[in-house]
Amino acid sequence: MAYPDDQLGEGEHVLLHRHPHWKLLVGPLFVLVVVLAGAGFLAVLTESLAWRTPARAALAVIGGVLLLWLVLSPLLRWRTTHFVVTSHRLMIREGVFTRSGVHIPLGRINSVRSRRGLLDRLLGSGTLIVESASDEPLEFDDIPEVDRVQSLLYGAVEEEPDDRYPDGR
């Protein structure tokens, strides 16, 4: 089973499962283009050098490290970050090698707010602010369709458990 299905309890089902907004991938895509174009340009420049093989090997190593660090790492971080609303709780999980997560039962959520700047409004994302029984509000940045998520979460919090499922699940 894949996440979040392997975390669900009896009678619990996923209402929403999102990764952060795709705008987080624009920077790594730009870096990918720049690194590949720069490596190609430098490879052409080294064509006439007597020591072109070591120079190209150094370019390949430097380009590979840059791609791993500035492209693959953010992509993996994006892919392994999950924002999930189930019928019983809100779950956030992130991390590649060391995973961390927050699970908040819907009954413990006091309020749900969102904040959207100009770029967020243009791209359809925003920051979700969840106040629960904990000390400080939790902020989740770059949530796609944040208004829809806020409405869904607010509706799930306000529903009585008996109203949620007519068959008593």
Instruction: For 26-35, write each residue's pLDDT tens digit.
Output: 999 999 999 9
What pLDDT score was predicted for residue 67? 94
pLDDT above 90: residue 154 = no
Q: How many Å apart are CA 53 and CA 111, to the nearest integer?
A: 62
Task: Choose the weakest-confidence range: 43-57, 81-95, 148-162.
Answer: 148-162
Q: How many Å apart are CA 9 and CA 43, to the nearest integer?
A: 55
Sign of CA dihedral 73, 75, 80, 82: positive
What pLDDT score was predicted for residue 70? 95
Is the link from the previous residue into 28 a cis peptide, with omega within 30 of 0?
no
Q: What is the pTM of this model?
A: 0.78
